[in-house]
Amino acid sequence: MKIVRISVAILFATVAIAINASAADKATAMKAGEAVYTKYCKTCHQATGAGMPGVYPPLAKADYLKTKDKKIIIDNVVNGLKGEITVNGKKYKGVMTPLPKQYTDEDAANVITYIMNNWGNSGPVITAAEVKKIRKVAGKK
Give the pLDDT score at 104: 97
Helix ranges restricted to H, 37-102: 42-45, 63-67, 70-79
Question: Would you say residue 19 lies in a domain?
Answer: no
Question: Would you say residue 72 lies in a domain?
Answer: yes
Q: Quick one: which of 134, 122, 104, 138 has its CA closest to 33?
A: 104
Mean pLDDT by 10 residues, the chain (141 residues): 60 47 80 97 97 95 96 96 95 93 96 97 96 79 48
Give the pLDDT score at 140: 52
CATH number for the domain that contains residue 50: 1.10.760.10
Give the pLDDT score at 5: 63
Question: Would you say residue 129 lies in a domain?
Answer: yes
What is the number of structural domains in the chain?
1
Question: Would you say residue 8 lies in a domain?
Answer: no
Q: Phi and psi dihedrals of 93, rounded to 5?
A: -135, 110
Question: pTM of the full predicted structure?
Answer: 0.81
Question: Would you say residue 130 lies in a domain?
Answer: yes
Rounded CA gap, 20 and 12, in Å?
12
Please give the span between the terminal C-alpha atoms of the chain, in angstroms, as a whole number. 59
Give the pLDDT score at 19: 43
- Domain ranges, residue 110: 26-139
Question: Would you say residue 60 lies in a domain?
Answer: yes
